[in-house]
Structure 1
Amino acid sequence: MKHTYIILASLLACLVLYLVEQVLQADYIVKTVAKILLFVVLPYLYIKLIKKSTLIKELQLRGSINQIKLGLIFGTASFLIVLLTYFLLQDQLNLDQIADELKTKSNVTAQNFILIGIYITFGNSFLEEFFFRGFIFLNLYESGRKRLAYLFSSVLFGVYHIAIFQTWFNVWLIGLALIGLIVIGLIFNWINTHSKNFLNSWIVHILADSAIILIGLRMFDII
């Protein structure tokens, strides 16, 4: 019952967000509200009705420096890798096209990008880590389904992101991005087993997103 709910609920959430993103082509505010509802309400129902726990208990993210050192190490590495990848592949990226699509489909502009960037770095990263690592991975992992926990959460994490930017890159870059996201998901899962919460992966996510936002600032000619 527990793992069935996790799998079905997470698939439903990602499917709905794909429809909102690619079919309805909603603006950024609508997509954000939809993500908050799905990524919080579905796990909350699981925590409250099936796990018989509380949200506060599930969000215990305290950790010593020793416990989060993996997050800091991998986070710094991710920050540098994202920037290095950008500089190596920038000739393959059409930043003007991406910027135009963000303006047209999501109403993301140079005027609101800084505020959106702050939300993405801290708020959106928290939602995704709570959902993919806290709700999906750690619950499946702690129930004894360790292989399923690693594979399902990582693959879904990758596919979920590809659905967002599938029109930005050519097929080869999309394939490379999918492999990279799955590997990142596996690493995120592994480092969280050391702290038994998703604090480590959230730290990595924040630092990786910080590098992406820097690229976005350049894309919108803010820096």
Structure 2
Amino acid sequence: MTRNHIVQVCIIALCSCSILFVIEQVLDVNYFIKTASKAFFFLVIPIFYIKYILKLSVKESFNIQKVRWKSLRLGLLFGSLAFGIILIAYWFLRKIIDTDAIMYDLQVRSEITPEIFIFVAIYVTFGNSLMEEFYFRGFLFLNLYKTEYKVFAHVFSALLFSVYHTAIFATWFSFELMLLALAGLFIAGILFNWLNTYSQNFLNSWIFHIMADIAIILIGLHLYGIL
């Protein structure tokens, strides 16, 4: 990538995440519209940029032509640790988390009822995690990491990943818990990036992300009274 490409990718990332924040927190739209918007900004635009600006195939850009399954063991290991840490953290912090605010946001603003939660859970675990890993670790980190600005690649992608999630849980937590969540997401982003430097693709972090989301879904099932 040239310096112009680096600047273009960063501008695209900042604009995309800003627009998605407005869609998530300002506009009164349903969950389907939010999901479709995310797919457009996190899949369609990056694929278009990779194919027609960088002149690369997606497989070539993300090094996923030949995957050695042994190289994915780190994703399974750290994903298992994240699964346990998230559940333990919820157990200790559950008394100071405003679960009423979370449920209001999910059921009223996003219109996610108990009847459709299981379908949303499947999408979040596999579809949403894939889009985020494709975007933050594939399109952003791996492309930037191929340049001389490797430290910037780590920090920028992890920071944007953490700040982006404020669009999702901006109304869920107190200021202190919000800072804690942002710090945790930033550290997770750095760890995701580090895992992917070994395989040069985003599959390790996707496995990690899936297992972390499974823990979050279990908490959601508990809040909905399903589990």
After TM superposition, the score normalised by the length of structure 2 is 0.95
2:104 pairs with 1:113: no
2:91 pairs with 1:101: no
| Counterpart AA for 2:117 | F
- In structure 2, the partner of 1:21 is 24
Measured against aligned partners, the alpha-carbon deviations of 1:146-179 in whole angstroms (never above 9, x if no partner) come to: 0110010000000000221011000000000011
CA distance in 1, matches of 2:216, 2:66: 26
Contact persistence 1:40–1:131 (CA under 8 A): yes
Change (3 A) 1:68 1:61: farther
CA distance in 2, matches of 1:26, 1:58: 34
| Counterpart AA for 1:142 | K
Unmatched segments (≥5 aa) in structure 2: none
| Counterpart AA for 1:184 | A
CA distance in 1, matches of 2:148, 2:114: 47
Contact persistence 2:196–2:202 (CA under 8 A): yes
95-104 or 76-85, which moves further after superposition?
95-104
Residue 171 of structure 2 aligns to a residue in which SS?
coil
After TM superposition, the score normalised by the length of structure 1 is 0.96
Measured against aligned partners, the alpha-carbon deviations of 1:45-75 in whole angstroms (never above 9, x if no partner) come to: 2211221112343452753332111101100
Query: How far 1:101 moved relative to its partner?
Result: 1.7
Contact persistence 1:83–1:211 (CA under 8 A): yes
- In structure 2, the partner of 1:78 is 82
Query: How far 1:87 moved relative to its partner?
Result: 0.2
Q: Which runs of 4+ in 1 moved over 3 A?
A: 56-59
- In structure 2, the partner of 1:11 is 14
Q: How does 1:11-90 map to 2 (within 5 A)?
A: 11-58=14-61, 60=64, 62-90=66-94
Unmatched segments (≥5 aa) in structure 1: none
2:206 pairs with 1:202: yes
2:150 pairs with 1:174: no
CA distance in 2, matches of 1:159, 1:212: 19
- In structure 2, the partner of 1:187 is 191
Contact persistence 1:25–1:106 (CA under 8 A): no
Change (3 A) 1:167 1:61: farther
Residue 165 of structure 2 aligns to a residue in which SS?
helix
